Structure 1
Amino acid sequence: MNCTVVDLKEVPALSHVPEDQLDWLLSKSTTKELNQCDHLFKKGDPIDKLFIVIRGKLEIKIEQQGKYKTVGVINQYDLSGLLPFSRASTALGFGEAIEDSTLLVVEGVHFREMVANHFELTEALVHVMNSRIRDFTKRNVQEEKMMALGKLSAGLAHELNNPASAMVRSAKSLKSHLGAVPEKFKELMAMEVTNDQVDRINDLLFDKISNRPENNMKLMERAQKEEELEEWLEDHNVENAFELTETLLDFCFDITTIEKILDQVGPHNFPPTITWIEQMLTTEKMVDEIDESASRISTLVGSVKTYTHMDRGQEKTPEDLHKGIKSTLIMLQHKLKKKGIEVEKNFAENIPPVPMKPSEINQVWTNLIDNAIDAMDQDGKLTITTSVENKKAVIKVQDNGSGISDDIIDKIFDPFFTTKAIGEGTGMGLELVQRIIHQHQGDIKATSNNNGTIFKVQLPI
């Protein structure tokens, strides 16, 4: 197929280029025919030619773990390959024809002459390059954000489900528990006690509730205490004593404490009194569980807001560095707990606020911490250390995984480079991290050995 100026005028990027410059382009080009499934280029090939698709369609694919993923399509009248002033050197993937195609090929050696003598043509191709960079960045940043959102949402759904379910269970139990109160109230009203006795019982009860002691008994010790308390209550005519012992011991009502109640109200009034006390403690325990669950949900929602900074603009503002790291750890808590990973936080207290775009910097922490989790086996250890060096905030994210081999550690910040299977990583996470850090005038480096990996981030204060 012979290509003409009329064909080049159909290319949107070249439609306004003067015909004499298109004639020059044709004089420096050759025509290449591809059959379906033919490769235009392969991974590692030098990027030293401009391709203009006159007819047909091609796909750009990358290989991950022996499988191929389509990352772009070159349609009819699209341009691909080398462009003026581009610094791309080697192909990261494969260019494969998905239908019979005809391409115009221009060797890069002609670009110097083009830049010197054909301004409109050069301008048009540079515009294509700028658009390509902008679209590439937008697409891959969005893809990386969606993958991060997927990971975080799965963990959040699990984390929110636990306290929500606990609230429902406690609310149902409380409702059932309160239904039995009227019957117990009758027994309480039948008692003959003085105001002084009531005050002393109340003082004892609410002292335990207000200053709830920690119950650190081991399992065997607690089982023994429950058995002893149950026998003691039965000996003092308390019905269903086994139902009372767990709650009483939760609030450290041992036999010695309960004997004081017996001394205050006497043997006749003791059974309804201790039953009423257990009812009050059970109500308190259920309300505490509901309060704790609600607080946990509130903390998670607050962490989401802190993480995304939904109520903030996207200008750099001085921010507490540790706040973003802490909220990211909460967002990834489900994944940390699943692997039983211990988190050690060595946070310096003398770090002043750091100028940053919080939602972007939080993407840095997400990628680094998430990668560290993936690198570790069960019961690993994640260490996050912060300090100040030479007027810069220094953040180190360290795992104790198997490390990154010397032959690939220099490639980890390259676009599309990943050791994960297709669907598990885009190869853009660390590239995005590096780009965000550089946009904040910072720096990031990685060191690794058989004992793990350390990512060191520096941000100007």
Structure 2
Amino acid sequence: MLCHSCGESTIFRLHRDLLGDMIRHNYELTECLVHTMTTRVREFAKVETQNEKLMALGKMSAGLAHELNNPASAMARSGKELKKHLSSVPKKFKAVMAMNVSEGEIDKVNDFLHEKLTAPKKPLSLIEKSNLEDDLTDFLEDKGLDEAEDIVGALIDFQIQEEDLEEMYDELGDQNFASTMAWISSQLITEKMVQDIGEAADRISSLISSIKSFSYMDRSQDMQKMDVHEGIQSTVKLLEHKIQKQGHQLDLKLASNLPEIKGMPGELNQVWMNILANGIDALEEKGTIGIRTSFDDENVKIYFTDTGKGIPEEIRSRIFEPFFTTKGIGKGTGLGLDITKKIIDKHEGTIKVTSQPGNTEFRITLPIDNNIE
């Protein structure tokens, strides 16, 4: 036979019915076939495991980009507004400098401003905000302030009441009240914008801290004493956007004084990520993701629950099998729970699942002391 790709060749053809006899009577052939198949399975599993990790990394990266974008955009927006706001300060400062006030009146204004900036604030309901806005607007307009609507927003943010304005008016009089309130509102607006920028920066810092905690990028990956709660909380922080975006609730009940265990934090964080991500995917409508921890003299126990449709009984025993998945093509490799099981086994722990519609629970038990080096 002539092969166009490699020249003249000789091909040995054997009917498949004879393959069984060859395997039974030729040990070397059997060994070769088993070795070849085992190698291919191992290579395939390695590639699929890598794909699973890349898919998880992709999901986490997409969520992280979304989470970082929100505070970054808020900082940029507040920065532009602050720059625009500061351009109007010289005009208000000029009006204040033209005022004829005593040192005592200046001290009164400074004390008032400091008190409102530092006083603790309780959240106001929409009705309370609306009522306060009406009261402040009516009072300022009665006193002849043309920019009452612009000033009121800043006063509400710091929960300044009508009686505060009345006291300020009685102290300063009609002539100086308008200029003073314009100056006070300017300071409050500046303070609010600085607070917004600070909160956005703190959010970014918190997310980066969660990533470092989740990945243990700046710490050893070896077996060590570790806090289970730290890993769970950093994982929740990374998935929080997904939970909130889909309208789900998070029920977090972490036991106080949970003992440290001996483990590999980076690998256990992958366990928390796999189970939480699966739980979120299982919620087709608005539902609840629950995480609870407890412990006894020998073990730490972690419970992950979701109110999704549940895992059918006929496939429940197969969910930890490699490559078994109920997700559509391209949405899962079927290795997430297989990897999870192997990590738990490596830590000499156990993982069990119970499920019915509306209540699925993964129960993980990890020994406080083990013999792993």
Is TM more than 0.5 here?
A: yes
Larger fraction in helix:
2
User: Would the alpha carbon gap of residues 109 and 31 (structure 1) be closer, same or farther in structure 2, given more than 3 Å must change?
Assistant: closer
What SS does the corresponding residue of 2:313 show, helix, strand or coil?
coil
What residue number does 1:94 align with?
none
Q: CA deviation at 1:128?
A: 5.0
What residue number does 2:14 align with?
31
Counterpart selection for 1:260 from 149, 152, 167: 167
What SS does the corresponding residue of 1:383 show, helix, strand or coil?
strand
Match status 1:388 vs 2:295: yes
What code does the residue aligned with 2:197 have? Answer: I
Q: Are 1:307 and 1:327, in contact at CA under 8 Å, matched by a contact in 2? A: yes
Q: Deviations over 1:177-232 (max 9, x none)?
A: 0000000000000111122211121111111111241241x323422321221121
What code does the residue aligned with 2:98 have? Answer: A
The sequence identity of aligned pairs, in percent, is 43
What code does the residue aligned with 2:14 have? Answer: T
What residue number does 1:152 align with?
60
What residue number does 1:290 align with?
197
Counterpart selection for 1:110 from 2, 19, 24: 24
Structure 1: give runs of 5+ residues left out of the alignment.
Answer: 2-25, 34-102
Match status 1:139 vs 2:53: no
Q: CA deviation at 1:352?
A: 1.5
Q: Deviations over 1:22-76 (max 9, x none)?
A: xxxx9xxx9347xxxxxxxxxxxxxxxxxxxxxxxxxxxxxxxxxxxxxxxxxxx
What SS does the corresponding residue of 1:329 show, helix, strand or coil?
helix
What SS does the corresponding residue of 1:175 show, helix, strand or coil?
helix
RMSD, matched Cα: 2.4
Taking the aligned partners of 1:287 and 1:189, their CA distance within structure 2 comes to 25
Give 1:305-324 correspondences, 5 Å limit: 305-324=212-231
Q: Deviations over 1:97-148 (max 9, x none)?
A: xxxxxx994569739x84xxx7x985x6776576456534432221111110
What SS does the corresponding residue of 2:326 show, helix, strand or coil?
coil
Taking the aligned partners of 2:169 and 2:21, their CA distance within structure 1 comes to 100
Answer with 424-433 or 384-393: which moved more: 384-393
Q: CA deviation at 1:384?
A: 0.6
Taking the aligned partners of 1:383 and 1:175, their CA distance within structure 2 comes to 44
What SS does the corresponding residue of 2:14 show, helix, strand or coil?
strand
Q: Are 2:23 and 2:30, in contact at CA under 8 Å, matched by a contact in 1? A: no
Q: Deviations over 1:276-303 (max 9, x none)?
A: 1100000000000000000001111111
What residue number does 1:198 align with?
106
Give 1:33-72 correspondences, 5 Å limit: none
Counterpart selection for 2:306 from 399, 405, 410: 399
Counterpart selection for 1:182 from 79, 90, 98: 90
Counterpart selection for 2:322 from 415, 418, 426: 415
Taking the aligned partners of 1:237 and 1:372, their CA distance within structure 2 comes to 59
Counterpart selection for 1:329 from 236, 244, 253: 236
What residue number does 1:209 align with?
117
Taking the aligned partners of 1:266 and 1:108, their CA distance within structure 2 comes to 110
Taking the aligned partners of 1:107 and 1:437, their CA distance within structure 2 comes to 43
What residue number does 2:179 align with?
272
What residue number does 2:341 align with?
434
Q: CA deviation at 1:259?
A: 1.2
Structure 2: give runs of 5+ residues left out of the alignment.
Answer: 2-11, 369-373
What SS does the corresponding residue of 1:382 show, helix, strand or coil?
strand
What residue number does 2:81 align with?
173
Larger fraction in strand:
1
What code does the residue aligned with 1:174 have? Answer: L
Q: CA deviation at 1:409?
A: 0.4
What SS does the corresponding residue of 1:295 show, helix, strand or coil?
helix
Match status 1:366 vs 2:262: no
What residue number does 1:452 align with?
359
* Bigger radius of gyration among the two: 1
